[in-house]
Amino acid sequence: MRINRRQFSAMAAAAAASATMPCLAQAEGGKTIALMFDAFDSDFWITGNAILKAKAKDNGWTTLETISNRDQNKQNDQVKAMVERKVDGIVFIPTDNNAAIPAIRTANAANIPIIFFNRPPAPNDNKYIAIQADNRKIMQMTVSTLVDIAKKQGGKYKAVLLMGDLGDNNAVQRRDGAMDVFDANKDIIQVVSRVATEWNADKAFAGLTNAIQANPDVNMLVSPSDSQDAIIEQVLKTAGKWHKTGEDGHVLFAGFDGDQNGYRLLSTKYMDVNGVQNLFYEVDLAYNAFKDIWAGKPVDKMLIDPGFAISQATLDAKRDDMWGYHVWKEKNK
């Protein structure tokens, strides 16, 4: 999907309103869709909400929005409220994949389709659809591209792998995808440190600092999320290792998510590769699933976003499909 500046400005304005006013917002239309978020704590979710609303409007649908502020019990109650309002479909981003199961039962009892957006519930026998980025495959593509760059440059590499919260399946899949590639290239790459950040900035800072102090010749780094880019930049600068591609001492660097920080670092040549979750495609998957369900057609329980890897070499060709590019462009117009 390609979005022009005017369209994305409208989306960004809507997202900003959602982030500051956690209340219900309604527009004219046919079907009514509940967009139920747990928090707007990252640009990924803010932008996802904006795209969901923009494409709902394109379909002539009404949207109702809730934010639970990471309170799963509150979110389950909000589902009951949406059922009472007789919505036609629910897009759901839970805080807890186990505690969200009662919300599925509530929706099932009312015969309202519920779609989990980029955060599936724990396995259960109730009726739901889950949209999920293929985190392992995307990370495999990303690290494979990074390794190809390393092979072209020649030499041996000592790598640090940052990991998210390993209680989060997304983080586990990203770790495993990176290790799949590293394990296949042990002849040139040694993983000298695996840092469990738990999605915590202080732990990421301390862990990466310690890893580089223990291994000052680190020359490759893989991150599980662009939300950690600023921390990585700070640590590498302090260690005298923050250099652009082609400069002496450059650390080969791969990020993940495809947010505006990832785009900025690719465009300024500090990051080499980024694994992108395709938000535009994920919204299309969700809304097409609703249409099929309403039409009585079967829909797979799990719908996969294959994502893609983007590098400095492919940035100009692929950036319009990178959601973070549009966020960056809007903030820098």
pLDDT of residue 41: 78
Q: How confident is the model at residue 12 (pLDDT cuts 50, 70, 90)?
A: low
Res. 18: pLDDT tops 70: no
Res. 21: pLDDT tops 70: no
Q: Would you say 138 and 276 are in contact if contact means Cβ atoms under 8 Å apart?
A: yes
Res. 109: pLDDT tops 50: yes
Closest C-alpha to 50, from 7, 15, 23: 15
pLDDT of residue 14: 47
17 vs 290 pLDDT, higher one: 290
pLDDT of residue 79: 97
91 vs 21 pLDDT, higher one: 91
Class for the domain spanning 5-127? alpha beta
pLDDT of residue 7: 53
Q: Find the helix or strand (DSSP H, E) in which 18 lies.
A: helix 5-20
Res. 4: pLDDT tops 50: no
- For residues 269 and 237, what is the distance between their CA atoms, to the nearest angstrom? 15
Res. 287: pLDDT tops 60: yes
Domain ranges of the chain: 5-127, 135-276
Res. 260: pLDDT tops 60: yes
Q: How confident is the model at residue 27 (pLDDT cuts 50, 70, 90)?
A: very low
71 vs 24 pLDDT, higher one: 71
For the chain, give the mean pLDDT. 91
- For residues 223 and 142, what is the distance between their CA atoms, to the nearest angstrom? 11
Residue 143, helix vs strand vs coil: helix
Q: Who contacts 36 (Cβ-Cβ below 8 Å, separation ≥6)? A: 65, 66, 68, 75, 78, 79, 82, 90, 91, 92, 93
Which residue(s) pair with 222 in the sheet?
Answer: 161, 254
Res. 239: pLDDT tops 60: yes
Which tokens hold the place of 310? 């983007």
pLDDT of residue 150: 98
Residues 266, 272, 277: CA angle, nearest 5 degrees: 70
The string of pLDDT tens digits covering residues 124-159 is 999 999 999 999 999 999 999 999 999 999 999 999
Q: Find the helix or strand (DSSP H, E) in which 293 lies.
A: helix 279-294
The string of pLDDT tens digits covering residues 165-215 is 887 888 999 999 999 999 999 999 999 999 999 989 999 999 999 999 999
Write out the DSSP string of 208-251: HHHHHHH-TT--EEE-S-GGGHHHHHHHHHHTT----TTSTTPP
> What fold does the segment set 135-276 form as a domain?
Rossmann fold (3.40.50)
- For residues 11 and 1, what is the distance between their CA atoms, to the nearest angstrom? 14
In the chain, what percentage of residues exceed pLDDT 90? 83
5-127 matches 135-276 in fold: yes
Q: How confident is the model at residue 10 (pLDDT cuts 50, 70, 90)?
A: low
Q: Give the HSE-up count for residue 59: Cα atoms under 13 Å, Cβ half-sphere.
A: 20
Res. 321: pLDDT tops 50: yes
